[in-house]
Amino acid sequence: MTSPAGRHRDPPTTRTEKTLKSPRRTDPRRPDAAPDDPLPRPRPGTGPPAPVALVTGASAGIGAAFAARLAANGHDLVLVARSDQRLRDTATTLTRQHGVAVEVLGADLATAEGQRRVAHRLAEPTRVQAPVDLLINNAGSASAPDFADTDPTVLRAALELNVAAVLELTRAALPGMLARGHGAILNVSSVNAFLTLPGGAATYGANKTYVTALTKAIALTLTGSRVQIMALCPGPTRTDFHTHNGTREGVSPAWLSHSPEWVVERALADLHRGRTVSIPGLTTKLIALAGPHMPLPVTAFAVRRTRARRARSADPMRPRPGRCRGGRRWGR
């Protein structure tokens, strides 16, 4: 901990903070909810302790952007990832910039031991470790390049991280939040949850479908309570995700991708609106809308075309698919 949890402070004011602090519209499904519920804001001067957010995968990409935005908004933080040193550096920076208390929790969430340690932090707050008001299950990975070529232990590790850790941590955080009468959980899924794609995306999409479905079902269970849960389904986001996971070939065009800061801004705004599923960006929304209705043969056709294009760019002498030579179709 770089400073004691539960301390009082005047939160810095920024344009975005104004957005986050503006009273959200009352959720018609939860008319009893206070406008600022379930994420209590820190009050200037004396008042309740600052809210605490636990962010997994906080050392890079979307998780680091969540940590930075929440710190700017006055949240104390618990940062989780495998790389202790990067988390410590982030903690020092955020404490210096925003005066928030930051706790570092190094854990490999692809292991039962790592999941247990973080679950324990969520379920058993102590006098020094304040209860977590906002859990962001963000850490995730994809496997590459192809299902049949990928070591089963790699597939299982991705399943543990993308699915089991989300399940464990959500389960660990909920009872305390319900008992305290407020709290929120944000599960980072993906637009891939709405698509059926081959290769490394096959297991990744299936993992994220589980996260989205589980989140929606728990949201129904929480109806009438002051605890909220939301699935965030971003489209392509400019992070090092594909480099980290060796899925470089899955990278989308720049015009289709957003910055992690932009995604985080939209996600927190949707959380305050009481949404259960957040899909930032019009193009991403359209993909999520069309994806489940896409007939498999159409996707298979697109996959064949993409593979042929990739093979051609690797070998420019390779013939184009569908072109006729001597009355015979070739190149398929």
Ligand X SMILES: NC(=O)c1ccc[n+]([C@@H]2O[C@H](COP(=O)([O-])OP(=O)(O)OC[C@H]3O[C@@H](n4cnc5c(N)ncnc54)[C@H](OP(=O)(O)O)[C@@H]3O)[C@@H](O)[C@H]2O)c1
Which window, 82-90, 125-133, 298-306, 313-321, contacts ligand X (CB under 6 A)?
82-90
- Residue 108 engages ligand X in binding (rule: CB under 6 A): yes
Secondary-structure percent of the chain, ordered helix, strand, coil, rounded to 5? 50, 10, 40
Q: Does 237 bind ligand X (CB under 6 A)?
A: yes
Query: Angle at Cα 245 formed by Cα 241 and Cα 248, nearest 5°?
Result: 75
Contacting residue, 52, 62, 122, 268, with ligand X by CB under 6 A: 62
Pick between residue 110 and residue 219 the one whose CB is nearest to ligand X: 110
Name the strands in the sheet holding 102-106, side by side, starting at the edge strand that comes first in the sequence: 102-106, 76-81, 52-56, 134-137, 183-188, 227-232, 277-278
**For residues 206-235, which are near ligand X according to CB under 6 A?**
234
Contact call for residue 83 and ligand X (CB under 6 A): yes
Q: Which is nearer to ligand X, 33 or 107 (CB)?
A: 107
Neighbours of 144 (CB within 10 A): 20
> Residue 239: what residue type?
T
In the complex, the smallest distance separating the C-beta of residue 153 from ligand X, rounded to whole angstroms, is 13
- In the set 240, 293, 326, 332, which binds ligand X (CB under 6 A)? 240
Name the residue with tokens 């594909």.
242
Active-site residue identified among 66, 204, 210, 241: 204
Q: Which two tokens stand for residue 143?
A: 């496997």
- Write the DSSP assignment of 67-104 as a string of letters: HHHHHHTT-EEEEEES-HHHHHHHHHHHHHHH---EEE
Q: Which residues ranging from 134 to 193 are in contact with ligand X (CB under 6 A)?
A: 138-141, 161, 188, 190
CB of 195 to ligand X, least distance (A): 11
Is residue 278 a contact residue for ligand X (CB under 6 A)? Answer: no
**Alpha-carbon distance 10 to 6, whole Å?**
13
Q: Please spell the DSSP secondary structure of 22-52, one letter per residue.
A: SPPPPPTT-TTS-TTTTSPPPPSSSSSPPPE
Does residue 210 carry a catalytic annotation? no
Minimum CB separation of residue 234 from ligand X in Å reads 4
Strand 328-329 versus strand 324-325 pairing type: antiparallel
In the bound state with ligand X, the residue whose beta carbon lies nearer, of 227 and 233, is: 233
Rule CB under 6 A: say whether 109 interacts with ligand X.
Answer: yes
Closest distance of CB 266 from ligand X, Å: 13
- Chain centre distance of CA 21: 22
Q: Which is nearer to ligand X, 33 or 64 (CB)?
A: 64
Kindly determine how many residues on this chain lie close enough to bind ligand X according to the rule CB under 6 A: 29
Closest residue by Cα to residue 177 from 36, 37, 77, 27: 37
Could you say whether residue 60 binds ligand X (CB under 6 A)? yes
Catalytic residues: 204
Binding site for ligand X (CB under 6 A): 56-63, 81-83, 86, 108-110, 138-141, 161, 188, 190, 234, 236-237, 239-241, 244
